[in-house]
């Protein structure tokens, strides 16, 4: 479930509860509040921002105070949000409380700036000259609230979409949509406008954050600093093309869609030609040997950067036409095994034992048993993957992006492995996970680092591993799935599947928060 739009906190003790009375005292207060803990500082900022719209301060002082608070808000939000960004879903109670408070402060900032738009039409017509800046700030903080949903793998609410569209409609009607303003807070390129900030929010969501890692989301945010002004928002459609045109319905509760599906009025078309050229040129430059850093694309490895550019080109400029497999509806239920431990336990049917050891294996924990009992619904499937759904509020399985899962339909004996490629919690609390199937039937094994010199007895113990056969059609070698942190190129492992073997790890094929998958070669027994 997603938080309700933030409301300003109720005034405690009336206007005097605002901790400052003008811009100078606001600056002093901000210096003092930074000496408190992150949690206390966050609460103080939320209280002050929420009080501003109803305070008796002159609108010009409110605007100046909000501008002074922006750097501090950005810093505190970043530190506070570390506790919830990228965490497995469903969030636990503490993580959820932090996430809701982070979203609430972004929304409170947007509401405070939007309240100044109303002041311009009433008590403060002198603020009209600041209208482009005020509206851009309200759009920016609305976009940040939306982005915070993505970083926690939650769907953006319809209320946030309506707020974003409403603010852009005001900018258009006031004739200020393309007026340039400066915004250096949390950005590498300060020059922007209301239209560019609106485009930024649209494109950030069209990039499908449910399919991105936190690092990839950060790259997209960085790149949009430079690319947001390449897209024109217009009532007129772009030139005819083989690629379906994209547009946005300003009266809707959602983002970008196909122009052909839009109503006759209230639609704005996206002219993406300049952005498409930029993406193509960047991809070509990478293939020619230039580094991402040289192209202003950050410090991603070149291959990862190229893959992300391709994904963005598909989502932004090719109307999401990258899917190769036909998906068919399904309604089967599958058992979910969320860790190597639970997968191994299910495959062997017994507690893990050290190879060659005598006596009983490890005691089976309650967690292992419960992990082996949870069921999800497969909504649709293709040759390469599944879309799974869990609507049980009591779900014990917390799922991360890129996590390895075991899946088994009750009517079949074989267990399959999948890697979570898409992850989102909808507004009703349902967890949707798109999984890419790993070809082959996994086999249980035990592995340890060979010839390790240590006095720590635990370091020389075997641990659970999974083996996958060679996939010749896809040119994927025989591989082993290990606990995270085990892989090192050319590392030698003792492998036990019955007869003892030694293997040499050769390359990483996949990795996620709960596993590493590596190709290997047998070097002896």
Report helix angle 302-312 to 214-227, nearest 10: 70
Minimum mean pLDDT range among 31-35, 60-64, 370-374 = 370-374
SS3 call for 447: strand
Span of 128-142, 299-313, 377-391 with lowest mean pLDDT: 377-391
CA distance 1 to 288: 46
pLDDT beyond 70 at 320:
no
**In the chain, where are the structural domains located?**
1-221, 328-438, 443-524
Question: What does the longest C-alpha to C-alpha distance in the chain come to?
Answer: 85
Instruction: Of 57-61, 245-249, 371-375, give the lowest mean pLDDT range.
Output: 371-375
pLDDT in tens, 160-183: 999 999 999 999 999 999 999 999
Q: Which of 340, 290, 294, 313 is nearest to 464 (CA)?
A: 340
Q: Which residues contact 128 (CB under 8 A, 6 or more apart)?
A: 120
- Please say if the pLDDT value at position 148 is more than 80: yes
Tokens representing residue 488 in the block: 């090192």
Q: Specify the CATH number for 328-438; select among 2.40.10, 3.30.160, 2.30.110, 3.30.70.
A: 2.40.10
Which segment of 73-77, 122-126, 262-266, 320-324 scores lowest on mean pLDDT? 320-324
Q: What is the pTM of this model?
A: 0.90
Dist CA 53 CA 57 (whole Å)? 9
Q: What angle do CA 315, 253, 308 make, to 5 degrees?
A: 20
For residue 454, give every residue at least 6 positions away whose Cβ sits within 8 Å of its Cβ, in sequence order, or none. Answer: 460
Q: How confident is the model at residue 452 (pLDDT cuts 50, 70, 90)?
A: confident
Question: Which range has the worst mean pLDDT, 7-21, 241-255, 359-373, 479-493?
Answer: 359-373
The encoded tokens of residue 120 equal 């311009």
- Grade residue 31 by pLDDT with cuts at 50, 70 and 90: very high
Mean pLDDT of the chain: 89
């Amino acid at each position: 479930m997603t938080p309700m739009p933030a409301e300003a906190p109720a005034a405690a003790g009336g206007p005097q509860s605002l901790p400052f009375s003008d811009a100078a005292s606001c600056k002093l207060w901000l210096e003092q509040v930074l000496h408190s803990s992150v949690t206390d500082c966050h609460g103080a900022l939320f209280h002050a921002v929420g009080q501003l719209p109803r305070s008796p301060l002159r609108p010009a002082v409110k605007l100046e105070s909000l501008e002074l608070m922006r750097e501090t808000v950005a810093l505190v939000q970043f530190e506070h949000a570390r506790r919830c960004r990228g965490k497995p879903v469903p969030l636990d109670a503490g993580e959820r409380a932090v996430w809701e408070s982070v979203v609430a402060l972004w929304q409170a900032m947007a509401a405070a700036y939007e309240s100044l738009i109303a002041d311009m039409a009433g008590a403060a017509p002198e603020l009209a000259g600041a209208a482009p800046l005020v509206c851009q700030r309200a759009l920016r903080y609305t976009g940040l609230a939306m982005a915070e949903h993505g970083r926690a793998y939650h769907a953006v609410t319809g209320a946030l979409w309506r707020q974003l569209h409403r603010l852009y409609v005001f900018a258009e009607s006031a004739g200020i949509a393309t007026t340039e303003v400066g915004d250096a807070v949390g950005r590498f390129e300060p020059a922007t406008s209301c239209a560019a900030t609106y485009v930024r929010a649209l494109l950030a969501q069209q990039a499908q954050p449910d399919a991105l890692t936190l690092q990839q989301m950060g790259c997209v945010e960085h790149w949009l600093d430079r690319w947001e002004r390449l897209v024109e928002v217009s009532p007129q459609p772009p030139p005819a093309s083989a690629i379906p045109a994209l547009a946005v319905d300003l009266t809707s509760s959602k983002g970008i869609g196909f122009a052909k599906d839009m109503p006759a009025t209230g639609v704005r078309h996206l002219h993406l030609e300049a952005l498409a050229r930029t993406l193509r040129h960047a991809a070509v430059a990478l293939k020619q040997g230039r580094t991402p850093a040289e192209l202003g694309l950050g410090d991603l490895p070149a291959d990862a950067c190229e893959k992300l550019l391709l994904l963005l080109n598909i989502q932004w400029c090719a109307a999401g036409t990258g899917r190769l497999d036909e998906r068919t509806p399904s309604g089967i239920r599958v058992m979910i095994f969320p860790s190597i431990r639970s997968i191994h336990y299910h495959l062997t049917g017994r507690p893990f034992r050290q190879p060659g050891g005598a006596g009983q294996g490890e005691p089976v924990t309650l967690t292992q048993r419960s992990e082996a009992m949870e069921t999800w619904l497969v909504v649709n499937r293709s040759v390469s993957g599944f879309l799974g759904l869990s609507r049980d509020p009591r779900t014990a399985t917390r799922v991360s992006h890129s996590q390895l899962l075991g899946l088994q339909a009750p009517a079949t004996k074989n267990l399959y492995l999948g890697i979570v490629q898409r992850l989102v919690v909808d507004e009703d609390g349902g967890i949707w996970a798109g999984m890419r199937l790993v070809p082959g039937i996994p086999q249980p094994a035990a592995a340890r680092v060979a010839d390790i010199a240590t006095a720590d007895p635990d370091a020389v113990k075997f641990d659970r591993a999974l083996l996958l056969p060679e996939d010749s059609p896809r040119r994927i070698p025989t591989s082993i799935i290990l606990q995270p942190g085990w892989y090192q190129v050319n590392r030698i492992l003792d492998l036990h599947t019955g007869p003892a073997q030694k293997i040499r790890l050769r390359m990483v094929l996949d990795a996620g928060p709960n596993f590493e998958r590596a190709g290997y070669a047998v070097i002896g027994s």
